[in-house]
Amino acid sequence: MLTTGLLSSLILVDVVLIGWLVLRPELTRGQRGKMLAFCAFFVLPVLALVGGASEKMESSKTTEFCLSCHEMEPYGRSLYVDDEEYVPARHFQKRLIDRQVACFTCHTDYTMFGDLQAKLRGMRHVYVHYLGTIPEQIALYTPYQNRECLHCHAGARGFEESWAHEEDMGALVASEMSCLESGCHEVIHDAAALDELDLWEVPSHE
């Protein structure tokens, strides 16, 4: 993946080349000019577009990106609830997930095209944020799948050796029993109750 700095340099070089060829198009009459024009008008812009799209896609995974929309702010705050019962808060505070990509880690689908589907949903969210009507109650499109939990937890010793999990492992793997809705891990973001909850004060060195 091209870094932002490299990509910016490539764009600047291409803009200069294009400016030169736009001011002096007669240069493109010769063989070298034609090759230069091919690079300036086709190769470099396509590279810049693909590199830029890759950069933007990566940045759209970040927690900062998700929480930059004000309607997501309570969900971001809920990651700091000082109560282990809160599943996202526990994962976030104990660094069970990468904090930089906390939302994406739990809200992508771990299937072949899961990332793509998550990005398309994200595009829809961006559209609704700017041009649509934001629903009063934000909810998942479909019930949360055990697959997303098991992507990390399956095979982990703490999970496999827990008596509660051992007992129902077959039902959990087959999604016959929901991790979140079976009464075991049912406290999720609970954004509406945030004002009544204590929040973890992050130490200044964090």
Partner 1 sequence: MSERDEKIERRLRHAGLWVGGGLLVELLTLPFAGPGAFLAFATFSGLGIAVGVFLYLRALVS
41-60 core/surface letters (b: 16 or more CB in 10 A; e: else) = beebbebbeebbeeeeeeeb
Contact between 46 and partner 1 (CB under 8 A)?
Answer: yes
Place of tokens 């109750």: 193
The answer to whether the beta carbons of residues 140 and 110 sit under 8 Å apart is no
Binding mask 17-36 for partner 1 (x = CB under 8 A): -xx-xx--xx-xx-------
Q: What part of residues 98-157 is at the interface with partner 1 (CB under 8 A)?
A: 123, 125-126, 129-130
Q: What part of residues 47-76 is at the interface with partner 1 (CB under 8 A)?
A: 48-49, 52-53, 55-56, 59-60, 62, 64-65, 68-69
Nearest to partner 1 of 11, 169 (CB atom): 11
The answer to whether the beta carbons of residues 95 and 79 sit under 8 Å apart is no
As measured in angstroms, the least distance from the Cβ of 52 to partner 1 is: 5
Could you say which DSSP state residue 144 is in?
P
Identify the CA nearest to 150 among candidates 181, 110, 189, 121: 110
Contact between 196 and partner 1 (CB under 8 A)?
Answer: no
The answer to whether the beta carbons of residues 204 and 97 sit under 8 Å apart is no
Can you give the binding site for partner 1, defined by CB under 8 A? 4, 7-8, 11-12, 14-15, 18-19, 21-22, 25-26, 28-29, 37, 40-42, 45-46, 48-49, 52-53, 55-56, 59-60, 62, 64-65, 68-69, 123, 125-126, 129-130
